[in-house]
C-alpha cells in the first residue's frame, strides 16, 4: 500500500497543476486510495475464506 501511495504522490508532482494542490486535497486523495486498498484486501480475504483456504500470516522479524 505504501508503494502505491508513493506512486500517487510522484504522479501528482509531475502534473503542471501539482503546485495548486492543497494539503486537504492530498489528504482526500490518500484517504480514498487507502479505502480502496482496504476494500480490495477485504475482498481477497473473503474469497480465500469462501474457497476454504486461508492466507498465511506473514511476519517479519528484525
In tens, the pLDDT along 26-58 reads 889 889 988 998 999 899 988 888 887 655 655
For the chain, the farthest-separated pair of C-alpha atoms sits apart, in whole angstroms, at 49
Q: Does the global pTM surpass 0.85?
A: no
Whether 12 contacts 26, CB under 8 Å: yes
C-alpha cell belonging to residue 19: 503546485
The residue-averaged pLDDT of 5-18 equals: 79
The residue-averaged pLDDT of 7-18 equals: 79
Residue 35 has a pLDDT of 92
Residues in CB range of 44: below 8 A, 6 or more apart: 55
Residue 7 has a pLDDT of 82
Q: Which of 27, 1, 49 is nearest to 12 (CA)?
A: 27
Residue 62 has a pLDDT of 46
Amino acid at each position: 500500500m505504501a508503494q502505491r501511495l508513493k506512486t500517487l504522490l510522484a504522479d501528482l508532482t509531475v502534473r503542471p497543476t501539482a503546485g495548486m494542490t492543497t494539503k486537504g486535497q492530498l489528504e482526500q486523495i490518500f484517504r480514498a486510495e487507502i479505502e480502496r486498498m482496504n476494500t480490495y484486501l477485504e475482498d481477497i480475504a473473503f474469497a480465500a475464506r469462501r474457497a476454504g483456504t486461508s492466507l498465511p500470516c506473514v511476519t517479519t522479524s528484525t
